[in-house]
Structure 1
Amino acid sequence: MHTPLTDDTKAIMLLCGVFGEDHAVDPLTQTEYNTLARWLFNQQMRPGDLLRQENWNAATIGASFGIRGERLKALLGRGVSLGFAVEEWQRNGIWVISRSDEDYPERYKKHLKDKAPPLIFGVGDRSQVQGGGVAIVGARNVDAEGEDFARKSATLCAHNKMPVVSGGARGVDWIAMTAALEAGGVTIGILADNLLKKSLDRDTRSPISEGRLLLLSPYPPNARFTAGAAIGRNKLIYALADYGLVVSADYKKGGTWTGATEELKRGNSLTIFIRTGENVPLGNKKMLELGAIEWPAVDAPDRLDQQLAEVAKSTERNSVEEKPALQMPLPLP
């Protein structure tokens, strides 16, 4: 049974969505959409109000910030293409939520503010979209010690009923996700590309149907991989979890280093734990200098959540709170 799309979500999809091979008009970027959303907020309007043609001219006038009126009207006029796309996605079990929906991840709103993606596509149990648990990340190329650490950490999370959040990429991401599933746990994968293809893989179909694997992406279900997309989704991995755990990171290169250091510099950063030891990569050692915390020796296998909370509380960093990007309730619809 599919949850009907709200009018707000329909409008946001028309404005920001990509439908098949139709590239006649460029969808709004997140920055452009935020600007439009700010105008709607000031006018006491909702995105769904733009589904009525009488509001198009008002939006064009009020949103005189570099978005041409013809472009806005062309985007909002893609109703037929949207209908075909949604029908195909739903046929393959894909659902979509927007920043205006009640079940949009509250963690994204609080942690990312206006950087929270306007749209999220998903496959699996939608009720698990609120996240929690540990974000386990690391390099694609990882040594045997790193593999073993990722597997054991993910298994421990599963035994403590803490979801494992990761990126679904080759290497540490998939090792951790697979280990958690094999241990009977819940895993949330936030993908940078091809949500549709991944959801149909033999390895993912069963845990999805069992309600133990949730796949999410801020990108269209058929999106191809780009390095920029992979780096862009890293903040979504951390933002959906209670804690981060970096298994293996190359120093000053790669998505793992970029994503972890970005999170460590955030004013409202998660607690980021890191694997330590004699043979860890240089990036792991350098992250300790940036504020990451050594992954603790587990004192009791059934109280991981409590132990991590205690360690995080005792090592809280006195960082300056980030100023919100917009002086109004965030995120915008």
Structure 2
Amino acid sequence: MRIQLNLDSIAVLLFCGDLIVDNTAPLSLEEWNDVERKLKSSSRKTPSKLFGMNKDTLIQILGIDEYIAYKMIARLSTLNDLMFALANLENEGIFITTKYEDNYPKVLMTSLKKRAPLYFYYVGDLSITSSPMISVVGPQDLERRLNSFTKNVVTKIYDEEKVLVSNGTKGTDAYALKTFMNLGGKAVCVVSDHMFDKKKTYSKYIKDGRMVLMSAVDPFAYFNVTNALDRNIYVCGLCDNQIITATHINSGSVWFTTIQNFHYHWTKQLVLDDDHYGGNIRLLEMGAIKLTYEDILSLLTIEQIIEKNEVVEEEVEVLVDQMSIYEFLDE
């Protein structure tokens, strides 16, 4: 099977990818961004030019840190292993795209900027990501009072012919995804572990052309908290809007990601106006867009609901005790 990736993509996968297990660690996102900046300011410009450079050229001509140059030269020896691994993945129906390919979801580069993943593994029709996208998130423990609301939300999303973005985790995400797919909708499912197994779980939807499965980590990877939190950021980055059914203050990944979103503005977030959930009350006080039960049952589109309820004010200060560790360090 022919690997349809350009040389810039091969370069970033070789130097930064997690597909090949090697004694030399891959470059981090920050390290690669630094290499890319130095390439662009030189006469070499593109990552594919790195294949013709030795350690001295990397250090003396590009000005790359000696340790990073050492890692890059060491990983050059794994090129054959990388090509073999990519071919094996394609034989399993798992493909990969990078920020240097035309089919990479450009919305991620716009919303996440330098935090956008360098590459994605995917199964299914990646062009689904070119449509307007929205996600629905909430508690991992399903609550009967929220199920009806969630069902009405995804029905409205389906009626408006939007794509649902999900992380496929238990609770609200899984319920929303199942309900939406039963309606006949199209979805993007971003996962952070066991992609190979989940490919089988969602095989019917993928085969029907109604789902693309995406992962920024090795398709055989196990669960990892950092990867899971990054996955939630990618879900936000893909979406025009995100609907939060319920969350609790300082509790769980929904709260954590939402607080980060207030700082970085990856997507517009609508929060259910329900005083049973302290997290919802606080998010609305901080400036999230209000969403009522009546709004979802109305004939208004989601965009019209946003226009009706969005309050444009001066930026609300996010208190230190409600920041993510990333925000706190960034300050």
Q: Same fold (TM over 0.5)?
A: yes
Residue 292 of structure 1 pairs with residue 276 of structure 2: no
The match for 1:315 among 301, 311, 314 is: 311
Q: Which residue of 1 aligns with 2:27?
A: 28
Secondary structure of 1:24's aligned partner:
coil
Q: Which residue of 1 aligns with 2:243?
A: 245
Secondary structure of 1:223's aligned partner:
coil
Partner Cα separation in structure 2 for residue 300 and residue 145 of structure 1: 15
Secondary structure of 2:162's aligned partner:
coil
Partner Cα separation in structure 2 for residue 122 and residue 95 of structure 1: 5
Could you tell me whether the CA contact under 8 Å between 2:3 and 2:86 is conserved in 1? no
Identical-pair percentage: 23
Q: Which residue of 1 aligns with 2:323?
A: none
Partner Cα separation in structure 1 for residue 216 and residue 266 of structure 2: 21
Q: Which residue of 2 aligns with 1:258?
A: 256
TM-score relative to the length of structure 1: 0.86
**CA shift for structure 1 position 181:** 0.7
1:22-47 Cα shifts (integer Å, max 9, x gaps): 23111111111111111111114211
Secondary structure of 2:26's aligned partner:
coil
Partner Cα separation in structure 2 for residue 4 and residue 84 of structure 1: 14
Q: Which residue of 2 aligns with 1:111?
A: 111
Residue 272 of structure 1 pairs with residue 264 of structure 2: no
Partner Cα separation in structure 2 for residue 198 and residue 78 of structure 1: 28
Q: Which residue of 2 aligns with 1:195?
A: 195
What amino acid does structure 2 have at the position aligned with 1:12? Answer: V
Partner Cα separation in structure 1 for residue 40 and residue 194 of structure 2: 33
Q: Which residue of 2 aligns with 1:210?
A: 208
**CA spacing shift, 1:150–1:233, aligned 2, 3 Å:** same
After TM superposition, the structure 1 stretch with the greater mean CA deviation from structure 2, 234-243 or 291-300, is 291-300
What amino acid does structure 2 have at the position aligned with 1:227? Answer: V
Could you tell me whether the CA contact under 8 Å between 1:167 and 1:237 is conserved in 2? yes
Residue pairs, 1:74-223, within 5 angstroms? 74-201=74-201, 204-223=202-221
Could you tell me whether the CA contact under 8 Å between 1:111 and 1:239 is conserved in 2? yes
Partner Cα separation in structure 2 for residue 197 and residue 286 of structure 1: 38
Partner Cα separation in structure 1 for residue 59 and residue 239 of structure 2: 38
Partner Cα separation in structure 1 for residue 2 and residue 232 of structure 2: 28
Secondary structure of 1:291's aligned partner:
coil
RMSD: 2.3
What amino acid does structure 1 have at the position aligned with 2:71? Answer: R
Partner Cα separation in structure 2 for residue 302 and residue 199 of structure 1: 36
What amino acid does structure 1 have at the position aligned with 2:273? Answer: T
Secondary structure of 1:67's aligned partner:
helix
- How many positions carry a matched residue from both structures? 313
TM-score relative to the length of structure 2: 0.87
Partner Cα separation in structure 1 for residue 313 and residue 211 of structure 2: 33
Structure 2 stretches lacking a partner, 5+ long:
317-331
Q: Which residue of 2 aligns with 1:327?
A: none
What amino acid does structure 2 have at the position aligned with 1:121? Answer: Y
**CA shift for structure 1 position 166:** 1.7
Could you tell me whether the CA contact under 8 Å between 1:11 and 1:48 is conserved in 2? yes
What amino acid does structure 1 have at the position aligned with 2:28? Answer: T
Could you tell me whether the CA contact under 8 Å between 2:59 and 2:66 is conserved in 1? no
What amino acid does structure 2 have at the position aligned with 1:293? Answer: I
Could you tell me whether the CA contact under 8 Å between 1:251 and 1:283 is conserved in 2? yes
Could you tell me whether the CA contact under 8 Å between 2:142 and 2:172 is conserved in 1? yes
Q: Which residue of 1 aligns with 2:37?
A: 38
**CA spacing shift, 1:3–1:160, aligned 2, 3 Å:** farther
Secondary structure of 1:200's aligned partner:
helix
Secondary structure of 2:23's aligned partner:
coil
**CA shift for structure 1 position 230:** 1.0
**CA spacing shift, 1:213–1:308, aligned 2, 3 Å:** farther
Structure with the larger RCO, 1 or 2 (CA within 8 Å, 6+ apart): 1
Partner Cα separation in structure 1 for residue 278 and residue 105 of structure 2: 34
